[in-house]
Structure 1
Amino acid sequence: MDPVGVAIIGGGIFVKEQHIPAALASPLLTLKAIWSRSLSTAGDAAKTIPGDAASSVDLYSSDSGQGKSYEDVLKRQDIVGVIIALPIVDQPAYIEKALAAGKHVLAEKPVAKDVATAIQLIEYYKKVSAGTKASFAVAENFRFNPGWAYAAEEIKKLGRVTGFIVRLNWMMQTSNKYYKTPWRTKPEYQGGFLLDGGVHFTAALRRLLGSENAVESLIAQTSLVSDHLPPADSINAVLKTKSGAVGSYIMAVGTTFQAFEFQVACEQGVVKTEGSKVVVVRGIGQDAVAEEKVFEKTSGVEEEVQAWAESILSGVPNPNQTPELALGDLELLEKMLTSGDQDGARQKLQYQHLV
């Protein structure tokens, strides 16, 4: 079977460092085009393509004139799918146009700037795909990291979950390449970097806990510690699952603390993960035995793009890439931000069963 023709929509840092290499690495895909708002940005992205392959990739942009617009990309019959990586507030409109044109979509996280917009987008997708048969997948590379998958399976072996701790602390400095992205420096969406990066971590937590330990309610406090990271850069939350377990979620992107740690306590042990390293402690007290496993470091992007390509060819959406799953990741983060805005008011969650 011939590779599927795809276009990449966007020309930012993640496109250049992750999406282009991932698309080129998949034997199931052929990169046909890159679109960006400016031709210079599209050209800069194309420069990352090695060898003669760049000459076969057509460039499109908003300033390239007639026949080179986003809509022109969508008119191409040889382009079956698009990978969309645009600013958070802009993505839904581009997703809708691609779906309406019958193109399969893989869109970067979060699925939308808030739950209300995400629900509207998902409803639109269900309506239009009934006719076009186009599929809508949302990228979440953490779900394709082998360390997280292993940790989730080990948690199931240790009995009932009794508690969990998430600690994610670092300083997003003004010199950071992602901070210098204008739409991130002055965010037009809730949470700033807490949302932009945080949905990956709520996805990781939900992957570890599983549907039987879906979060049912939470309380949280938020604050702005570093003035360059509005509207908030710190969350301290207490989460309660439908199974009755209580856990903490501590995330700060403007702190001198440094931590990246997920711990899940079970009746018969503990699982600790830092991404590529997973420690499983089996037993209690003096009888406990710890086993450490280190996985090859990977962003998970190459794996998720390959999974998307396979889903296009098979006609079966990958269960780790559904927009409903991404809605649950977004809701968990949004409810923490909402609770913080309401001085710790308890929030009930509706979409956590979608894991």
Structure 2
Amino acid sequence: MTIGIALLGAGIFAQNQHLPAIDGCDLLELKAVYSRSQATAEAFVTKTGKTGLPVYFDEPATPGKGLADLLARSDIAAVAVAMPINLQPQAIRTALAAGKHVLSEKPVANTVANARALIAHYASLPSAPLWGVAENYRYQASLHLAEEEVKKIGGTLVSFVLNSNKFVRPDGNYFNTAWRKNPTHPGGFLLDGGIHYVASLRSLLAAAGAPPSKSNKITKLAGTMEQLLEILPPADTVRNIAVTESGASGVVTMSFGTEFGCPLEISVTTTEGMVTWTPKKVTVATRNEADLFNPHIVEHDCSPKNPAFPADEGTGVKAEFRAFAANIAAGKKAVETRLSPAEALADLELLEAMFDSGAAGLAAKVVP
């Protein structure tokens, strides 16, 4: 028996990622789509060819067509939420109150304070449905491979580097989404996009070895924040020195305001070697006892050229929807760790600490 699911949000990501993920999951069946405006909901049906899919909206107010009406349907057991960041927490609360399982897009909320309040609210619910936060980078097969390679080389963490350089064009689809173009959430693109990168870094750090009774959680940092592109307020670039509980230090650089530099690369170095991850390649360097200046190098091709990494699975969205559906079907009391709100909160705590340090100009910050 399939699980009836509805889309709350009908924008670009819902069209290009959520819809194919639902259609590609045997356990899920799309029952409806909701958007705040009737025009957007109906445009979703037109663009995706989902003729006959029921649409719901609250503007204009129409009897039987609002969000409450969608959530009252007994054939809908779950919802996938892809709405503007500031609107998501209330949508999550509303869906949970209606008894629906929820998969909400990252970040878990716009601020750490709001995220903690939302998680506390969820914990207070009796017999709560499942709630997962969709951080699709945690489901990328290449990241999983990199995690395994970090574990395989062993040793304890020595250092790490996250380097990401993107250039947001004014004619880009995502930029021209109203809530991204004129952000009211902290960090602008740094929150919306950067949360992926800190989630990936945290996953790789967790895979590395640490001294007894210590972890590789980043606990302290200091950095700068700046705006390189006029179109990306309030800032588009952060640069940080970060230190883990285990004492290892690293560098975190993320920018959405430059067309130069590596798009995304994370390296984790231990006492036994180094693993470098990009979404399309994993490189492993280990000690060469015969020539210490020339380590052994092994490269794993994770591009679509490799049949083990098909293009339609590259974003990780399909895998995260399958995991969410499997958790529901199995009657789990909580979602698996990669979907957990607690993990999403830790991502946000790290990123918000970067914002706070940068805004204060290299102020040292403790990460909760």
The bucket for the TM-score relative to the shorter chain is over 0.9
Task: Give the Cα separation in 1 of the matches to 2:359 and 2:294.
Answer: 45
Contact 1:32 1:56 in 2 (8 A): no
Which residue is 2:320 aligned to? 304
Instruction: Could you tell me which runs of 5 or more consecutive residues in structure 1 were left unpaired when the two chains were aligned.
Output: 351-355
Contact (CA 8 Å) 1:171, 1:255: kept in 2 or not? Answer: yes
> Structure 1 328/136 Cα, relative in aligned 2: closer, same or farther at 3 Å?
same
Q: Does 1:274 align with 2:278?
A: yes
Question: How far 1:48 sits from its partner (Å)?
Answer: 4.5
TM-superposed CA distance for 1:47, in Å, is 3.0
1:20 maps to 2:19? yes
The aligned residue for residue 44 of structure 1 is 43
Matched, 1:175 2:171: yes
Partner of 2:111: 114
The Cα shift of 1:283 comes to 1.2
Within the candidate set 183, 198, 203, 1:202 is matched to: 198
- Deviation of residue 286 (structure 1)? 4.0
| Equivalence for 1:353 | none
Amino acid at match of 1:96: R
Measure the CA separation in 2 of the matches of 1:4 and 1:303.
16
Q: Given residue 180 of structure 2, which amino acid in structure 1 is its aligned partner?
A: R
Deviations 1:185-208 (A, max 9, x none): 111011110011011111000000
Instruction: Give the Å deviation of 1:263.
Output: 0.9
- Deviation digits for residues 24-74 of structure 1 (CA, Å, limit 9, x no counterpart): 110000100000112221122223445xxx345211111261001001111
Instruction: Tell me how far apart the structure 1 counterparts of residues 204 and 2 of structure 2 sit (CA, whole Å).
Output: 34
1:1-355 equivalences under 5 Å are 2-49=1-48, 54-62=50-58, 63=60, 65-128=62-125, 130-131=126-127, 133-158=128-153, 159-210=155-206, 212-259=215-262, 260-284=264-288, 285-286=292-293, 288-295=295-302, 296=309, 297=311, 298-316=314-332, 317-350=335-368
Aligned length: 344
Cα distance in 1 for residues equivalent to 2:52 and 2:23: 12
Q: Distance in 2 between matches of 1:80 and 1:223?
A: 44
Normalised to the residue count of structure 2, the TM-score between the two structures is: 0.91
Equivalent-residue separation in structure 2 for 1:286 and 1:237 (angstroms): 29
Q: Distance in 2 between matches of 1:200 and 1:250?
A: 13
CA contact (8 A) 1:105 1:137 kept: yes
SS in 2 for 1:256: coil
Q: Deviations over 1:119-172 (max 9, x none)?
A: 0000111112x23x3111000111111111111121122211100111101211
Quote the sequence identity (%): 38
Taking the aligned partners of 2:112 and 2:315, their CA distance within structure 1 comes to 26
Q: Deviation at 1:256? A: 3.0
Residue by residue over 1:248-281, the C-alpha shift from the partner in whole angstroms, topping out at 9 and shown as x without a partner, is 0001111132312111111111111111210111
- How far, CA to CA, are the matches of 1:341 and 1:80 in structure 2? 43
User: 2:327, 2:52 → 1: CA distance?
Assistant: 25
Q: Which residues of structure 2 form unaligned runs of 5+?
A: 208-214, 303-308
The CA deviation string for residues 289-319 of structure 1, in whole angstroms up to 9 with x for no partner, is 1111122241110110111000111122121
